[in-house]
Structure formats: structure tokens, C-alpha cells
A and B are shown apart, each in its own frame.
Chain A
């Protein structure tokens, strides 16, 4: 008896009790679908984060200061000087002030992020200017109420003609002097929804005046570590206490993100794997019942010359087929659900071929593993006992 016959036999046997076959598969279906959905969603989430980081640049280093109780401090000029003192390593620096303010166009509220930066921002960010101009040294030093907006705002509110129009931030009127090139898809939830203003202007619209956050750019990505060390040494020489500031390089954060999503994936796949295991035990259970039910059939087959291997393969193939069909249904379900969920959660989800392959081979393997024991039980039956069984 060859594999093809065992396979046909398995299909026949499954068709004789469809409901039972389906219920047996359910564990595998859920397990496989869970693997695909979870892996796709984590993947989508990571892609989303990477998109956002992309607009910042992998060679950047962010500095946050929390000089509580310290008498010494650093200001923007100090940071610029640090940059100029290390021209081989550091390219540029900009303050990076997130303004806790609300923006309006006419009477409509915006959900945009508002960031105060210097004219060097363009050297650091991967953003490019699309229309008009970026902020200038003059805008910064004279605290001009001007801004550069993301392509979402330009498209959505001004039909692409946003230059020289105005918007209001905390009641102050800002003139739009430039529009950034599209970096994502110009939707509200993307990084195309932002407003960039002179950091000096932030001081005039909110109560905060201390610049606590800076973004540096290293000459290139490979110098990130070196740049970070220079900045840390400088800050330590000022504060003498490394609790008062944090320095993080983007390269490092990408690494952390990578490790983090890797770990999350591993945990989720582990959980989904447990459900596959449970599904496998379900298959084993039903196969054991099936062996008992078919004891007489096994006896007949043995009396007609079926060998150990023939009976083994019949039951193992049946278990593997059950599980593999469950796997295929699970894969389809998983793909559909992850695409729908991705749409709903606005995540760039695409089920990877690798996760599908792993899910499928794992489910077939589960079937074989858990089919082995019942199959061996069947093959070991004594022919005469099996024939007499009622």
C-alpha cells in the first residue's frame, strides 16, 4: 500500500463523518489562524513604528534633560557649540520641543503634532521640503510666527494651496511658509499630519521656556555610538550626575524595537503553539476512538495481509491529513482576519509566506506526531483479537 492509497482512504474516512472531522480540526484551525493573525499584526505594528522612525533618520541621537534641582544647565547655544567642536562626528543639532498646544484651522480642530525646531532640522530629519521654504535662521532668531506643515494638512484643508494661508495655535496666528514632502500616505494617522514651528515661537505661545529636548545627527549611522559618547561626556561634565539627562541613539532604539517585537512575536507564537498542541491532543483523542471503532476493520485488513507499516501509515496519514486540512482552513481564516483587522486598526499588515509555511508544516507535523501513538496501537493489534472484536 502506498502513500496515495493511504491518502485516498483518509479522505474517505473523513468524509464519512464530516461533523466529527470538522470538530477534530477546530483546534488546529484556531491554532494556525492565531499564529498567522498574531504574527501579521505584530509585523504590521513594527512596520508602522519603523515608518515613523524613518522620518527621523537612523543616524540621530535624542537628548532629554531633566535638570531638577541642578544649578547648572545647558542651552541651545551650548549644544550648537558642542556640534561645532566635533565636526568629524556631529553633523547638526536642533531643539525638539513638543508644544502642548492645540491647533485650529478656521473653527476646525487639528490632531496634528506641533514641534518646535531650529533651521537645522532639515539636515537631521529625512523630511524634504515640498512646497515653499523651510524655517530660516531669521525666523528663529526673531521668533516669527510662521510654520511648515505636513502634506496631510495642505491637502485636506487647503486643497494643496496652503502656502501663505494661516492656522491658529493656542489662539496665535501662524503663517504657513512651506509644506513637507509626503512621507507616508497623507492620512490623519500618518506622520504627514504635523506642524513645525520655530522653537523660539513655542516660548511665546506656551508657558514653558526651557528647551529640554534636542535631536543630534551623527555624520552617518556608523558614528552613532561615538556621537552618543561625546554627547554623554559633555553632559556629564556639566551635570556630574547621569540621572539628569538621557541620551538615546536611534540605531540603539531600532535595535531595542527589533528585540522587543521579536520577543512579543515569540511569546504570541508560543501561546498559539499551545493551542496547536491542544488541537493535536484533540486529534489524538479522536484517532484513539477511531482505532477502537475500527478494530474489526483492522482485523479484517490484517487477515488479508496488511503489514504493520500498512496499518500504521493508514492511521498516521489520516491524522496528518485531518490536521493539514485544518491547517489550510486555518491559514485562509488567518489571512482573511489579519487583513480585515489590519484595515480596521490602520496597520500595514501583510501575512508573511514564512509564517504561513511554518503554520502549515507545524500543523501537519502535529497531526503526524499525535497520530503516531493511535496508529501504533492499531498496528499492534493481534489479528484474531481484532477480528473477534464487537
Chain B
């Protein structure tokens, strides 16, 4: 089998590796999942990696990534010497259940999968595949449609590990679960991670998902998360991205929502070479609500592409998108918001907003909020703005004695703050406030510590302009 379509070193390597390692890859699969992998692989052969000919990918140039020779793909579990040292979180007052991922592998001091007395299960996806094959098979590739894009196809075929969380009906996980996903390898590395999160009826979970890199090596990560919210379930989902400038994150989150479920997802992209976030939300029951927020601060040659695809299939659902970005130097940003309101989805509320500030002439934004409505009784709106810092406001602030630089900081921070204020965990919110201030001042150190490890927490007195509220 030769893939003539969209042949790149990267896709060739995927195809080659699947051929060589498929027995290993499938070693814990039940029949259903093994079959699923084969079908996904077949699809990959047909469609290849997405190129700029495709609408959803046309503003993101991945050719350099596709031509890069990543050293490392399929791999065994690596022994981690000192887990506590690599994975620690020093956010004051943030008390979480911490799950650690290193180079796409779940790492833990004790068992790979933990089962709590209340029935909550969390840990390694691979371990779940072994211990709960039916549960995994019930959801595997059910929401992540591998016929639609090559990354999802090849991930479905090849991914071995990731994190797995199961919350049974009626259970509320009180502590937030924090996943720290670190990329740290001596070689260029390509990782494919598969996450599955299942919330039963009336279940409740807060998830903090951090992507970090520890060094300056090139990396590509293709992550798929399938996230199921049962009836009346509630999920708060925070995604932090703070990786080095040579890292590419291709990230797919497939949310499936039943009746009266509530989702709040907040993506905070602070650093990274190429970030491509794809959020698919299927509102599959009446009365559900999703809020999808994003904040991105890009500079140098960084690029971010946020896609949010929301399908309203049933009546009385609300979706609300707010994405804000500040683009500096010759960085670029893309926003694609696509809301589909199907014929039966009467009384839908759908709002989309994307706002951007460009700080230089070279910074670029491409924004396309889009509504596709087939029902007649709906309330929908969409809007996008691309602008500079308000000159009237700049003059007003400076006329009170505040330097141009700090006036800019105040305005940029005020702009970003709207998204930060959506964070409902106080400790996390304060840390993000600090980090965003640091990032805007160009002081955020990446690759030293995880996004939440910030080695020098902002101190009140060292803060030239004190932006904290009293």
C-alpha cells in the first residue's frame, strides 16, 4: 500500500511505523478496538495529513512540521527517576489530584490506574484498555471522527497511552484533577496521546490540563481527547499551553454532551511554536450549555489556530464562545468558529465572539466566526474585531503620568482579563493573572518549569504597575 496523496516524511513515517509496530500497538486491544485501528489506518492512507487545501487548515502552514524528521514515535514506557521533582505544582492553595504524563506516557509512582471507593477511576489510558476494555471500547473513536482528518485517523490507529478518567453517575469529584503533560526528550520527538474522559449522569469534574515542554528540542504532539458528558453532568475544563517555540501542538477535543449537561472550557495559550486547537462540541440533548473560552498571547513567529465547531442538535441549548488574542511581532492567529443549528434545535442560543489586538504591522489575524442555521426560532450572534490599542485610551492613561509602556500593559491586561475572569478556581485564576502579566512583559520563562510551576511567583512589591485589585 503506497500513499501517493499528500506524501510527506511525516506521513510516510507514520505509515511505516504502523506497519512495523502494529502488533505492539494493538497488544491490549480487544477486537473492537483493533478493528477500529485498522479502519482508521485505512482512512489515513486515503486522506493523508491535512494540507492547506482543506478549509479548516488553510491558514496554518504545517509543511515544515511534515518535512521534519522526528526521531521518536512508538515507544516503551520510560522509567522516571524522580517523579515528584519533575511534576510538582507550586500554585498556592491549589489542591489537586495530580496526574503526570511524560512524552505522551502516563507516569505514576504507584498503580497505573486508580479506583476510588466511590467508583471513580483515573490513570493511564493504556491501563484502562487492559482493565476496562468494554468501557473503553464503548467510547473509543465514537466522537473523534477519523474520517474527517488525518491527524485523528492516525492517532486513532496508533495512540497507545494518555489519561483516562471515569466518573460514575451522581459522583462529584471535589478536588480538581490536574494533568501535567510534559515533553522532555533528548531527541526531536513526535507523540500521539489519547485521552478519554467519561462523566456519568449528574457527575461533576474539574480538569486542569497543562501542556509544557522542559527543553528546547523540537516536538510534535498530536493529542485527541474524547470527552463524554452524561445527562446533567458538569465539566470545567482548563487547558494551559506553554511550550517552547519549536513545539507544535495539534490538539483535538471532542465533547459529547447529553441533556442538561454543562461544559465550560477555557484554553489559555501562552507560548508555543504552532498551536492548532480543534474543539468539537456536539450538543446531543436538550437544555445543555457550553461556554468555550480562549486567550492567546502570541509573539515572535508563533502561530495559533483555534477552531471551534459546535453542533446544536436538540432544542433549548446554549453555546457561547469568547476568544481573545494579542498578537505581537510577526506572529499570527487564526480563529474559525463554526456553529451549526440543526432544524430541530429550536430555542437555541448561540454566541460567538473573537477579538484581537495587533501590536505590529507584521502581526496577522485571520478570523471567521460563522453561523449555519436551519432552525427558525433561535437567538444567535457572531462578531469579530481586529484592532490596535485604543489611541484615545492610551492618551488618557498617559495624561495621568503613566508611561507609554505601562499604559500599553494596562490596556493589554484589561483586554485579556475578560477571559481570565472566567476561571472559577480562585487559586488558578490568580496564578494565571500573574502569568499573563509576566507574559505580556516578556518575562515568562518557558521550558524551565511547567506552566503552573512558575519559579518566581509574582511578588506584589516587584510589580511596577500593580494590577491587582484591592
A and B interact physically: no
